Chains A and B, each alone.
Chain A
Amino acid sequence: MDLAAKDVRRHLGKFIATIIGVGMLINIVFIMNGIYRGIIDDGIWIIENTDTDLWVVERDRGGPFNEQSQLPRDTYKSVAATPGVAKTGPFITYTVQRGVAGRNQQFTIIGYDVFIGLGGPKRIVAGRNITAGHYEAVADQKLGVRLGERIHLGVHDYTIVGLTRQAVDTNGNPLLYLSLSDAQEVLFQRDNQAIYAQDAATIKKLQDAGYTATQAGQMLPLFSSNTNIISAVLAKLTPGADIKKVRSNIQDWLYLNVYSPEEEIQLMLSGRLKKISITLGFFRILLVIVSIVIIALIVYVITIEKIRSIATLKLIGASNWVIIRLILEQSVSITLASFGFGYGASHLLEASGQFPRHLIFTTFDTTLVFIIMLVGGVVASLLAIWVALRTPPSLALGG
């Protein structure tokens, strides 16, 4: 006779409520894992999906993603002249918040030399790459724009000629690819209002420093910034080139910093992504502990609730195995069903696309959570079994 199943059938509501409750908790564990992996994945997506052998950035800077980096545009020509370098391209990246597709949203503009091609969009799912030097754009689907749509940025309109999927900056914001000069223009060419505000701020600063208003006005042009700058130079090496030598040449002669893609990723992981991953890691551990404690408590409580029945079973001569099976079967099925619920709920949420962050579920995480939960459930049942087996049969006789 399957005692565990009979008990579950009698208290179906209670068991289902328990499974939903614990399952929700496990669901959150999964989502937390998904967010964690998603943030890391987004954080290095652009590095992994840019076609380059070397990232050349401003000296002493961990750019262009972990830290700001600014170089004169022509740097790419000097890098190209280094022995061992086959091809270079200028690259600029900056995050903006503008009204696009009817809402004010944050996204990152990537500017690259569309004729050289380095740094351009990968994984175009609709349309084509940028072919004209001006007024064409490739956008990520997340921006909500359609193919052929014209979007207004700065002082010009840009036509969307291609769409990408999951092309995101290090914060998970969608990317918008433009030709280098368009990108520079969007970045630096402000409308009159912005220029006026900037000038007013500069004049205020000069006045604070003791200049008269007239003097400050005359000095204003000196403060207008150079706008022909880029964030990094992308460099492809000639086959068989000694990467070490190329690097030290660029570093020593051009006074620039050079990173391989792996090093760029490492910069992100040990820099901007470090705190968030530690924070999320902390939450993941806490959540797993809370789930295990709750599962343990539930297993313990459903055993204690039955302690008189267990004493009766002993009294009528049931073997320990009957009692162990009763406890183990219930705790393992509660654990498994909760796990299944949590797994299903988190994957449904991900599939629905309603969750605002990019979720990535890995088999490793799933297996790990599964093993931890199962071990937790079994350990809790061992505790419950220990209590049950110590229960004297005479307990069934009391009052």
Chain B
Amino acid sequence: MDVLIVKGLKKVFGEGELAVTALADIDFSVKKGELMALLGPSGSGKTTLLLCISLILEPTTGYIVINGHEIYKDGWTDVDMRRFRRENIGFIFQSHNLIPFLTATDNVALVMTLNGVSDREARRRSHELLDYLEIGHRADALPALLSGGEQQRVAIARALANEPVLILADEPTAALDTDRGRKVMALLKKIAGERNSAVITVTHDHRMIEGFDTVCELSDGRFVKKPL
């Protein structure tokens, strides 16, 4: 079953002479449990593509279907999109974006409570998740006291918190050294395998992508290496 279908996607920033076509003719789909890598040079449109999929940036044309729902449909309000995002998509970003005044556990638990899980239950489950990502011993630390790799693992735990069907990661290893980067990638593989979420991860680094189900490459907003 396809978790994500993207058809005829085009994104143009600005108008007239200043118009920048960031994405054009993007077609692809991702299955449950699939691990996809998105490669491409700087400015090729990788982040733009993830933002379009995340309901943050509305495409100029084309449509996107996630888990059977067409997003950006007419009549979808900001509130609908936020709810959809929090129920279906998990994010991992280059900068970890943890909330600085919340502990590791609270950062993860927050996402669950936003979905109506009780505080107690949320804390219990986030401890589990942090253990799963081997960061359970740092559960009560504030983000500022965690190393880059530890922060990224907390961010991954947060992305997993609502058991999303789709996990989007924008250069999750960029702030990490090669060793830690590999570990994070290994974690993403493990998640795709064990939790049955589809994972799309952007990376600059070709060495990181071994073992991925699909590898696509963007250049100037178009796929140069189409997904199979």
A: residues with CB less than 8 A from B are 1, 3, 6-7, 10-11, 308-309, 312-320, 322, 392-394, 396-399
Q: 21 A-B contacts, Cβ less than 8 Å apart?
A: A1-B110, A1-B119, A1-B122, A6-B101, A6-B102, A10-B101, A309-B99, A313-B99, A315-B56, A315-B85, A316-B85, A317-B84, A317-B86, A317-B111, A317-B114, A318-B110, A393-B56, A394-B56, A394-B57, A397-B95, A397-B97
Asked, given contacts A308-B97, A394-B57, A397-B47, whether A314 binds B82 with beta carbons under 8 Å apart, the answer is: yes
Is B225 part of the binding interface, using a Cβ–Cβ cutoff of 8 Å?
no
B: residues with CB less than 8 A from A are 47, 51, 54, 56-57, 79, 82-87, 91, 93-95, 97-102, 106, 109-111, 113-114, 119, 122, 142, 158, 170
Least Cβ distance of A254 to chain B in Å? 80
Cα A319 to Cα B115 in complex, Å, equals 10
User: 3 nearest interchain CB pairs?
Assistant: A317-B86, A10-B101, A7-B101
Which residues of chain B have C-beta atoms less than 8 A from A10's C-beta? 100-101, 142
Which residues of chain A have C-beta atoms less than 8 A from B82's C-beta? 314, 317-319
Asked, given contacts A6-B102, A316-B91, A394-B51, whether A1 binds B86 with beta carbons under 8 Å apart, the answer is: no
Cα A111 to Cα B99 in complex, Å, equals 75
7 additional A-B pairs beyond A6-B101, A315-B97, A397-B93, beta carbons within 8 Å, are A1-B113, A10-B142, A312-B97, A318-B82, A318-B86, A319-B82, A396-B93
Which residues of chain B have C-beta atoms less than 8 A from A322's C-beta? 114
Least Cβ distance of A293 to chain B in Å? 26
Least Cβ distance of B52 to chain A in Å? 11
Complex contact B57–A316 (CB within 8 A): no
Asked, given contacts A396-B93, A396-B97, A399-B95, whether A316 binds B51 with beta carbons under 8 Å apart, the answer is: no
Least Cβ distance of A113 to chain B in Å? 75
Residue in A6, A308, A317, A399 whose CB lies within 8 Å of B85: A317
Complex contact B114–A318 (CB within 8 A): yes
Residue in B47, B114, B122 whose CB lies within 8 Å of A316: B114
Least Cβ distance of A82 to chain B in Å? 80
| CB nearest to A4 among chain B residues | B101
Least Cβ distance of B5 to chain A in Å? 22
Cα A314 to Cα B82 in complex, Å, equals 7
| CB nearest to B115 among chain A residues | A317
Cα A316 to Cα B56 in complex, Å, equals 11
| CB nearest to B111 among chain A residues | A316
Cα A397 to Cα B93 in complex, Å, equals 7
Least Cβ distance of B57 to chain A in Å? 7
Complex contact B100–A309 (CB within 8 A): yes
Which residues of chain A have C-beta atoms less than 8 A from B114's C-beta? 316-319, 322
Least Cβ distance of B119 to chain A in Å? 6
Cα A47 to Cα B94 in complex, Å, equals 77
Which residues of chain B have C-beta atoms less than 8 A from A397's C-beta? 47, 51, 93-95, 97, 170
Cα A5 to Cα B56 in complex, Å, equals 29
| CB nearest to A306 among chain B residues | B101
Cα A318 to Cα B87 in complex, Å, equals 11
Which residues of chain B have C-beta atoms less than 8 A from A320's C-beta? 79
Complex contact A1–B93 (CB within 8 A): no
| CB nearest to B99 among chain A residues | A309
Cα A41 to Cα B47 in complex, Å, equals 71
Complex contact A317–B83 (CB within 8 A): yes
Residue among A7, A312, A392 having the largest count of chain B Cβ atoms under 10 Å:
A312
Cα A394 to Cα B52 in complex, Å, equals 11
Which residues of chain A have C-beta atoms less than 8 A from B101's C-beta? 3, 6-7, 10-11, 309
Cα A312 to Cα B79 in complex, Å, equals 15
Cα A394 to Cα B97 in complex, Å, equals 11
Cα A315 to Cα B159 in complex, Å, equals 11
Complex contact A316–B79 (CB within 8 A): no
Which residues of chain B have C-beta atoms less than 8 A from A308's C-beta? 97
Which residues of chain A have C-beta atoms less than 8 A from B102's C-beta? 3, 6
Least Cβ distance of A138 to chain B in Å? 64
Which residues of chain A have C-beta atoms less than 8 A from B142's C-beta? 10
Least Cβ distance of B132 to chain A in Å? 19
Which residues of chain A have C-beta atoms less than 8 A from B110's C-beta? 1, 3, 316, 318
Least Cβ distance of A300 to chain B in Å? 18
| CB nearest to A398 among chain B residues | B95
